[in-house]
Amino acid sequence: MSRNKWWGLARAAAFALVVASGGVGCASGQVLTQGEIGRKGSRSFAAPPTTVFYAAVGVLMADGYEIASEDPEQGIIVTKPMAVAEGGQVTARAYRITIVPDDHGGSRMIAAPLLYAGTRDISDRELWTLDGPRGEHAHWTELFEDIDGVLVRPAPDAQEREALAKVARSPLDPSGAKTPAPEAGFRPATLGPGAPTTEAAPDSPK
């Protein structure tokens, strides 16, 4: 075998190995199935559907999502695509969340993520990463834990709200818990839209 032919075969074998391992810019990932969403992308909560619904809206907004549509009666929340810097074809992601009553007086949430390339929905392609710190399992875990954190906070009574209003709130630690934007009209402790906030207010004149 000539030297040139040997090098040609070696380069071809190396290229085949790189392609097989997902290199050279080739698309890599998995298809996200409905079965996977049902197994890992769903969670039961002890709270009733309406309570979980507003908790989910607040958490999604705190995470930077804009709400495209919400239907409390049907328990459906759809977010607008939020830009991501993951590289490759995926430029944005969104959620379609469904919350339904369960058989025990609580709720069942199904959080179906969506991937976009520009304005095109590419969720059915082999582009999903399920495991790892940036995989869908991690996204689901964070979402559900944030909602759990909201649901365990009791709503303050009138006396507590009055006391809180007189105390200047310290700046939030960026590494701490997420808090919905003031314009959202939502506070985790209240679990409802348009509820009174705990923002600092000046003392009344004496």
Residue range 38-49, pLDDT digits in tens: 999 999 999 999
152: helix, strand or coil: coil
First vs last C-alpha separation in the chain: 100
40 by Cβ neighbours in 10 Å (0-12 / 13-18 / 19+) ranks as middle
Q: With bands split at pLDDT 50, 70 and 90, how would you rate the model's confidence at 85?
A: confident
Locate the DSSP E strands across 28-186.
42-45, 67-71, 76-79, 82-83, 92-101, 107-117, 120-121
CATH architecture of 27-151: 2-Layer Sandwich (3.30)
29: helix, strand or coil: coil
Q: With bands split at pLDDT 50, 70 and 90, how would you rate the model's confidence at 192?
A: low
Q: With bands split at pLDDT 50, 70 and 90, how would you rate the model's confidence at 132?
A: confident
Q: What is the mean pLDDT of residues 139-168?
A: 77
Q: What is the mean pLDDT of residues 120-149?
A: 92
